[in-house]
Structure 1
Amino acid sequence: MKISLPVIVLCCFFSCAVIAQNRGRIRGRVTTSDHRPAVNLSVMLKGTPRIALSNDNGEYEFVHIEPGNYTICITAVGLVSQRKEIIVNRRKTTTVDFILYEDSHQLLEVQVSGGKPNRFAKKETESVARLPVKNLENPQAYTVVSKELLREQVVTEYKSAFKNVPGVIATTAPNGGNYIRIRGYYAGSYLRNGLAAQQYLGLDPVNIERIEVLKGPSGTLFGSSLISFGGLVNRATKTPFEETKGEVSYALGNFGLSRLTADVNTALNKEKTVLFRVNAATHQQHSFQDYGFERSTSAAPSLLYKVNSRLSFLFDAEFYKVNRVTPIYPVFGAAVTVRNFKDLKLDYRKSLTTDETMISQNSTNVFTRAEYKITDKWKSLTQIAFSNGRWDNYSAINAFWLTDTTIRRSVNLQRPRNFNSVNIQQNFNGDFHTGTVRHRLVAGLDAYLFNTTFQNYKALDYDTVNVLRNTPALSLTSVYNKIAAVPPMTSARAVQGQYALYVSDVLSLSDRLYAMLSVRADRFVNKGTTLNGIAPTDKYSQNSFSPKLGLIYQPLKERISIFANYMNGFQNIAPVAQPNSTIASFKPQQANQWEGGAKLDLFGNKLNATLSYYDIRVSNLIRTESAIRDGFAGLYSFQDGEQRSKGYEADLIANPVPGLNLVLGYGHNQNKLLKATANTGKNIASSPYDIANGWVSYRIVKGAATGFGAGLGANYVGKSYFDAANTFVLPAYTMIDATIFYDLPKWTLSAKVNNITSEKAWDMNGSPFTPGQFIGNIAFRF
């Protein structure tokens, strides 16, 4: 892999940088009167254009400040404004902390509006770069979906959250797992608080604080096992705080929707050093089709123990149980003349399944974190995550279309299957200077251990049906009786491990110029698969090196950033037995991205936007080709395949006038195979060129009707192909959602209609979307 060009380019930038001399720094922390961090508040340096936003810990910072006298101001709706006079000395750090108190005259409006004008623009998060780096200092494009936006949209299922992410579409696999298509690649939700979580069986959104979607290959910090070349998804979960508060809500809708959730938080001792929180949900819904249902329960307790001002421990867990009917997966034969889902003769409301439980699933995620402040400049973060997912009697139904009207139903059974992982991570974060250059650095060690056990049974051809006639429900009892009469076709256990060292450094070369230099050394060990009691024969190991380079220049300080990045991702490739009896060992598959764009944070955070263009190239795909080697003819494997994904994206979150919020996005992507075993020049399946999203809401913030509001959203997904050969069309669609709500400090009453026009459309797995659904929701807070 050649990286000489990016290194040369960055070196040229560095040599041209004007390094600030003899300047000072201002830093501090903003907290509320109950000692909680005040997040995303604007701290202004009067007499200058400089504005800093407080991060998740309430901390803010100004760097490269000329020596002199200054006034720092904080003004926020519902809080008493404050200002402090300070003196900045050269090469010194001035610490200025604030404690904010409520303004009783504005308290009601604060509780209703959320206390922040652009309340959906919450992009300041340390977990994206594993560093306290602001959005405008980060050369990577990413989107954050907050719990506030999910609440306003009355989101009751996890995949609906991704309607707010530009260039992304979401789906639920037949086994219940949640996946997205991002920059032309599949990605799962395998990260929870930055560590591994096995989500092959679905998720409940009740415990989500925010969803972070990172764009592009991110192997440098996150490895290869849990992400894709297009990006990754990280779920940040809710954590305890010092107040005693809670919320109980209930949602009811057509198609049998009934959902009850609770969120309760309290301190367990007088000193408020031991804090507890629990989120829970019970959810059930029937399919809009003739058969199908989902019934789930979820519980997520968490405990925070603050030993002292330097040391704290967080313990949390997540338990999820679900019974559901899995949707069919269509397979189209050569005799089928229909070439588009919308032209199929199958009734849109006919499922071809059953109302018997087709899959029973359980998952457990346990997470612990120890955070220790070593010095004012260094801290240690130790994290451990255990994850288990299990399903029983997973009955996957394939619908083989034999003709335009005839389907053969086939059942594949797994009973049971277990997924287990342990992820251990140790990070050291530093914030220090070498000369006049500020460094924000993370150095980390990561160990990820994974194993799975499963039993597969030979597929059973169940029956052949005519879709124009009445179709009987599947009888799983008869399926199980037939399959149980024979032993499993496959009993297997697979074990893998991944061990890595990574370093990432954000250098403040001046008050406007930043560089990110990152690298990862990775060791992957596949201990092989034990198959039907036979010892593994597929053991192998690989080493990978993954760099990441980025540059940020702010022509308008803390308002406009121009960014560029080079990012790398990798996937491990197993050896292959060739026809001439040799074993071909391959290098890890590499994806290299170049990206450039701009980030905006204007008008006091009322306009937040990201514009970017990217180009992702993979030049060492595995492909097969007929050849003769050493006198042996056959199908040989070569590592010279090529794939290219390129496109552009726009992400805008705005609050142009009080009460009015906009979330808008657009993504254009072309992902094609340039050299492959087959389908060279074809588009990757289920990858539409164009995806657009929009959400506009308005709430009254003053007067007798304070808290009343409405929202309207639309999502457009362009045409794509269901198959790799690009012969069967997934048609384009536009879906429109709307809400009305009355939001007061103690309670909220909401009504939502999803897919108002009952648009008929199909997801990436060929499953039909639910037509118009009404949801009513009431929430009570205490």
Structure 2
Amino acid sequence: MKQLLSILSLCLLTTVTLAQNATLTGTVKDNNHTSLFGVNVSLKNTAKGTQTDGNGNFEIANLENGDYTVLISYLGFKTKEISVSVSGNKNINLPTITLYEGNEILSEVMIQGERRNKFSRKETAYVSKLPLKDIENTQVYSTVTNEILKSQVVTNFNDALKNATGVEQLWTSTGRGGDGAGYFSLRGFSVQPQLVNGLPGLTNGTINPANIERIEVMKGPSATLFGNAVSSYGGLINVVTKKPYVGTGGELSFTSGTYGLNQIVGDFNTALSKEDNLYFRINTAYTKEQSFQDAGFRESFFIAPSLSYKVNNKLSFSFYGEITQAEQTNPTFLYLNRSAPTAASNLDELGYNHKLSFTSNDLTLENPTQNYRVEMDYKLSDTWKSQTLLSKSSTSTKGYYSYLFDYGILEGNTYSRFINKQNANTQTTDIQQNFIGDFKIASLRNRMVVGIDYFNETQTDNSTSYAFYGNVTPNGGVNGDDPFTEAVEENLYPLSTSGVDAVLASQAVNNLKSTYHIYSMYASDVIDFTDNFSAMLGLRLDHFDNEGDLADPEDDFNQTTLAPKFGLVYQPIKDKLSVFGNYQNGFTNVAPQLVGNPDEGPQRLQTFDPEQANQLEAGIKTNLFNNRLNATISYYDIKVKDRVITDPSSPFNKIQGGEVVSKGLEIEINANPMKGLNIRAGFSHNDSETTKSDNTEILNRRPLDAGPETLYNFWASYEFQNEALSGFGMGLGFNGASERFAINYKSTGEFILPSYTIANASIFYQANKYRIGLKLNNAFNKEYYKGWTTINPQKPRALLANISYQF
């Protein structure tokens, strides 16, 4: 009996002790006294943490007596630390905590837990170079989050961008020098991904998704803040990389799939010195994949070290690097004739065997790429901050590049192969100095960035000229009859390095080096006239200094351009519903381009006058039901003057003098209607037309880089909530496009690639430390094509299996 009483007394004492453990509570708001949802709140050097609810409130229970440091962090806001002391097991209710907006937080605290609307993450300091919420930003942008990439078992950049509203691949990465990265259509214009963390980051290959935190697709001309070197009139693509955070942890992941895909990814974060706030993170990946065609492969090794160092509460430094070593066979597109009708006007007449690569694994390209960025942030005062940025890029191409072109000289659908040996390099340097302020003039709040920017790009080309190397037909026929000679030749031109080298031995080698400099000043100010009504005003002064071919002083020129920007936002319901309109400007001091038929001798560099683009846009944005429904609906109208286009009479020449109008509607929805269910849906319709041109071949026709008129995408992921199926989930989705013009000229007529809808599905199991997933791409094995004066077959059905472990 005494033992029983002793046990009961002990249990009662334990219960009382636990009941007496303290609870820490508080409320987090921004500078406008608006409650912040989803703020990370944790106790430093402990495993305890939580997130704020829809009213900005948080609670951390069962705290023992002692001293604690509370870390409060939220993307787009400055991290705050608060010291608290628990004694006598008394509860602590902190006074209202105010977070002030700042640039991208580099030392985010990683909290495991449920976050609403995982497919929507619109807080960013890059789009406007200011910490603006999406709902108060006059510009439209689409964000592809890391959560979407994991849900879809994404292993390449092209698949990641299928989730961005209004974006369609024109052609995949060719690996060739100068512009070997993939091309995408956006609001009727071609664009390449050339921005990393808001700074230039070039590649001649493809971007490895292993280091992607999210992808931001900014819509419309964006020259006011980003200039013209890395953007297009349809917008630009910014890759946000993973950054060091406070803590130690990481992840290992392995994906294997159809067509020989094997990818291993590693992510590790640690403190090099907790006392000095010095944190290090490294992401790395090795990928090898074969082609679904009879030949072709890509192999790459990627490593991305990053470092953050917080010297004190005023000064911090960051370093990021991405290094890629890659080798691939270039995809051998069928280039359609741009100056005369082809024998076929559609795929049925072409008789294309899409499983033929028309190359061999012996003919490869190497694409080493390096991107480095250094950032220094210094708090000048409570209202002003200095941001100094330096980025350097180096991307090279070495190896064999070929293309197939229908000259219309030989009978039937005959494509002549031309091949050269690439040896090209592009170097860029960008230096920015920004001053970012948040202050009041009278009663008006101003959020301002003032900056200067220096950009330099130097291209070196020591490639050989192109040589004729046999003919093929789309169904696999071959012959060696050179279309430019009278004699009928029988040489079958073997696809081997020895055979190609023998032909290229007599070709001239380019010795070209060109460079240009851009000197810029810009300012942008968001003025809050009331809590619900604000305006954005921006202006850029840009001086373009082109040295062109360094061996030819005759092609030097310079140009000074102004790029204004203006926008209005009215929020009928504060932080929940906004109505916006914008005017945005873009321009292009067109970089020198090689022109001239290489068969007639070395090509030459040609320069052009600047192009100008102006956009008017209006729409609405929502953030409803405690962040469960984010939607953007907008209509835009873009007009471009003095457009530079490919000469329809020759693929090697460029001409200037066109006017293009591009109008369209975009709808994007991110929803979390119930716990465990996340949905992303997008729809866009674009009308583009060349409305003015001396070239009658393209007048009143849809430009080829405009892509399809209609695009749509959908993805839903659901994790079961009942206990029996806890951890299991599934994903379903589709993406598609209307038909598009591969050729659309007056003399050639039209070659139309058909519309498509591709279905995808996944299942997964998510445990505390690991995740297992299966993904089926192109579930119904649809044969479909993309292209831009080309015919580019896409991958058939493919199954991927992934396992990842977090630590």
Match of 1:256 in 2: 260
Give the conservation status (yes or no) of the 8 Å contact 1:323–1:357.
no
Match of 1:436 in 2: 443
| TM value normalised by structure 1 | 0.84
**2-structure distance, mates of 1:742, 1:232:** 35
Match of 2:770 among 747, 756, 771: 747
Match of 1:194 among 185, 191, 198: 198
For residue 310 of structure 1, report the CA deviation from its aligned partner: 1.2
Match of 1:56 in 2: 75
**1-structure distance, mates of 2:655, 2:796:** 46
**2-structure distance, mates of 1:412, 1:585:** 26
| TM value normalised by structure 2 | 0.81
For residue 166 of structure 1, report the CA deviation from its aligned partner: 1.1
- Matches of residues 307-456 of structure 1 in structure 2 within 5 Å? 307-333=311-337, 334=340, 336-400=342-406, 402=408, 406-456=413-463
Match of 1:32 among 30, 37, 41: 41
Shift in alpha-carbon separation, 1:556–1:82, aligned structure 2, 3 A: farther
**2-structure distance, mates of 1:665, 1:82:** 46
Query: For residues 7-56 of structure 1, what are the alpha-carbon distances to aligned partners after superposition, in whole Å with 9 as ceiling and x for unaligned?
Result: xxxxxxxxxxxxxxxxx95489955325599999666379xxxxxx9741
Look up the SS of the partner of 1:728 in the other structure: strand
- Matches of residues 87-166 of structure 1 in structure 2 within 5 Å? 95=98, 111=112, 114-166=113-165
Match of 2:532 in 1: 512
Shift in alpha-carbon separation, 1:54–1:517, aligned structure 2, 3 A: farther
Query: For residues 50-98 of structure 1, what are the alpha-carbon distances to aligned partners after superposition, in whole Å with 9 as ceiling and x for unaligned?
Result: xxx974154599xxxxxxxxxxxxxxxxxxx997666xxxxxxx8479x
Match of 1:628 in 2: none
Query: For residues 112-136 of structure 1, what are the alpha-carbon distances to aligned partners after superposition, in whole Å with 9 as ceiling and x for unaligned?
Result: xx52121111001111100011101
Match of 2:635 in 1: 613
Match of 1:172 in 2: 172
**1-structure distance, mates of 2:193, 2:317:** 25
Give the conservation status (yes or no) of the 8 Å contact 1:38–1:58.
no
**2-structure distance, mates of 1:410, 1:41:** 62
Percent identity of the aligned residues? 35
**2-structure distance, mates of 1:622, 1:420:** 24
**2-structure distance, mates of 1:41, 1:545:** 44
**2-structure distance, mates of 1:775, 1:575:** 43
Q: Does 1:480 align with 2:501?
A: yes
Give the conservation status (yes or no) of the 8 Å contact 1:31–1:58.
no
Q: Does 1:494 align with 2:510?
A: no
For residue 623 of structure 1, report the CA deviation from its aligned partner: 8.7
For residue 518 of structure 1, report the CA deviation from its aligned partner: 0.5
**1-structure distance, mates of 2:584, 2:721:** 43
For residue 503 of structure 1, report the CA deviation from its aligned partner: 0.3
Look up the SS of the partner of 1:723 in the other structure: strand
Give the conservation status (yes or no) of the 8 Å contact 1:328–1:399.
no
Give the conservation status (yes or no) of the 8 Å contact 1:40–1:55.
no
Look up the SS of the partner of 1:604 in the other structure: coil
Q: Which moved more, 1:724-733 or 1:296-305?
A: 724-733
Query: For residues 670-704 of structure 1, what are the alpha-carbon distances to aligned partners after superposition, in whole Å with 9 as ceiling and x for unaligned?
Result: 11100112310000115211000000111123424
For residue 466 of structure 1, report the CA deviation from its aligned partner: 4.3
**2-structure distance, mates of 1:28, 1:179:** 42
Shift in alpha-carbon separation, 1:624–1:302, aligned structure 2, 3 A: closer
Shift in alpha-carbon separation, 1:595–1:486, aligned structure 2, 3 A: closer
Match of 1:604 among 615, 626, 637: 626
**2-structure distance, mates of 1:96, 1:475:** 63
Return 5+ residue gaps in structure 1 as ranges: 1-23, 47-52, 62-80, 87-93, 98-109, 577-583, 626-636
Equivalent residue pairs, number? 693
Give the conservation status (yes or no) of the 8 Å contact 1:283–1:295.
yes
Which amino acid in the other structure matches residue 546 of structure 1? A
Which amino acid in the other structure matches residue 653 of structure 1? N
Which amino acid in the other structure matches residue 470 of structure 2? D
For residue 619 of structure 1, report the CA deviation from its aligned partner: 3.2
Which amino acid in the other structure matches residue 140 of structure 1? Q
Shift in alpha-carbon separation, 1:655–1:60, aligned structure 2, 3 A: farther
For residue 408 of structure 1, report the CA deviation from its aligned partner: 3.6
Which amino acid in the other structure matches residue 194 of structure 1? G
Give the conservation status (yes or no) of the 8 Å contact 2:332–2:403.
yes
Match of 1:658 among 675, 680, 686: 675
- Matches of residues 669-688 of structure 1 in structure 2 within 5 Å? 669-676=686-693, 677-678=695-696, 679-686=698-705, 687-688=707-708
Query: For residues 630-662 of structure 1, what are the alpha-carbon distances to aligned partners after superposition, in whole Å with 9 as ceiling and x for unaligned?
Result: xxxxxxx99763210000100000011111111
**2-structure distance, mates of 1:229, 1:781:** 41
Look up the SS of the partner of 1:174 in the other structure: coil
Shift in alpha-carbon separation, 1:342–1:745, aligned structure 2, 3 A: farther
Q: Which moved more, 1:211-220 or 1:677-686?
A: 677-686
For residue 586 of structure 1, report the CA deviation from its aligned partner: 7.5
Return 5+ residue gaps in structure 2 as ranges: 1-30, 58-71, 81-90, 101-110, 479-491, 594-605, 648-653
Match of 1:526 in 2: 546
- Matches of residues 206-217 of structure 1 in structure 2 within 5 Å? 206-217=210-221
Shift in alpha-carbon separation, 1:35–1:692, aligned structure 2, 3 A: farther
Match of 2:244 in 1: 240
Q: Does 1:766 align with 2:791?
A: yes
For residue 406 of structure 1, report the CA deviation from its aligned partner: 4.3
Look up the SS of the partner of 2:793 in the other structure: coil
Q: Which moved more, 1:427-436 or 1:587-596?
A: 587-596
Shift in alpha-carbon separation, 1:465–1:45, aligned structure 2, 3 A: closer
For residue 344 of structure 1, report the CA deviation from its aligned partner: 2.3
Q: Which moved more, 1:388-397 or 1:496-505?
A: 388-397
Which amino acid in the other structure matches residue 402 of structure 2? A
Which amino acid in the other structure matches residue 677 of structure 2? L
Q: Does 1:219 align with 2:197?
A: no
Look up the SS of the partner of 2:149 in the other structure: helix
Match of 1:738 in 2: 761
Match of 2:287 among 262, 283, 288: 283
Which amino acid in the other structure matches residue 165 of structure 1? A
Shift in alpha-carbon separation, 1:305–1:404, aligned structure 2, 3 A: farther
**2-structure distance, mates of 1:689, 1:734:** 14
**2-structure distance, mates of 1:779, 1:410:** 43
Which amino acid in the other structure matches residue 158 of structure 2? K
Match of 1:44 in 2: 55
**2-structure distance, mates of 1:638, 1:153:** 42
Shift in alpha-carbon separation, 1:260–1:252, aligned structure 2, 3 A: same
Query: For residues 711-752 of structure 1, what are the alpha-carbon distances to aligned partners after superposition, in whole Å with 9 as ceiling and x for unaligned?
Result: 011011111101241611121111111110101220000000
Look up the SS of the partner of 2:414 in the other structure: strand
Look up the SS of the partner of 2:669 in the other structure: strand
For residue 781 of structure 1, report the CA deviation from its aligned partner: 1.1
Which amino acid in the other structure matches residue 195 of structure 2? L
Look up the SS of the partner of 2:725 in the other structure: coil
**2-structure distance, mates of 1:482, 1:312:** 56
Look up the SS of the partner of 1:697 in the other structure: strand
Shift in alpha-carbon separation, 1:298–1:573, aligned structure 2, 3 A: closer
Q: Which moved more, 1:494-503 or 1:349-358?
A: 349-358
Q: Which moved more, 1:752-761 or 1:723-732?
A: 723-732
Q: Does 1:553 align with 2:570?
A: yes
Alpha carbon RMSD of aligned pairs, Å? 3.0
**1-structure distance, mates of 2:607, 2:729:** 61
